[in-house]
Homo-oligomer: A and B are copies of this chain.
């Protein structure tokens, strides 16, 4: 039972026009899990829709992250990375392990449950104390991955 793709519902629901470029970008994001840079999204979109420009990808990813369809991450490389947040093709909530040397990024979900419990508790406490309305958190662990720690002194 094929219904209208999820991403498009999101566009309509947010009063944003459902254009080919946006469908294409959502399609690519759905088929490529992982943390894609704008350039990477652009290249994949461009394979199938050569007329769609890089500027549009930038603009679209900005919109999508603003309305919460994709998450925007920054792993200290000097450029943003994006990932579908939710829906049928989206990954479950996870946290990140980033290798400081080779830049590889590993998602993990194993301990997230336990972490989330504390996070939410903390979020409530912080909201109360600092008058801050929290809607998202980012937890990154940095270190050396297995390969890189072998080749280091």
- Residue-by-residue, is A125-151 near B (CB-CB < 8 Å gives 1, otherwise 0)? 111011111111111111111100100
A110 to B72, CA, bound (A): 27
Q: How far is the CB of A98 from chain B (nearest CB, A)?
A: 9
A106 to B134, CA, bound (A): 12
Within 8 A of B (CB), among A31-58: none
Number of interface residues of A (CB under 8 A): 38
Is the CB of A15 closer than 8 A to any CB of chain B?
Answer: no
Partner of A137, one of B133, B134, B139: B139
- Minimum CB distance partner of A106 in chain B: B130
Q: Which residues of B contact A99 (CB under 8 A)?
A: 132
Do A76 and B76 touch across chains, with their CB atoms under 8 A apart?
Answer: no
- Minimum CB distance partner of A118 in chain B: B118
Partner of A143, one of B72, B136, B139, B142: B136
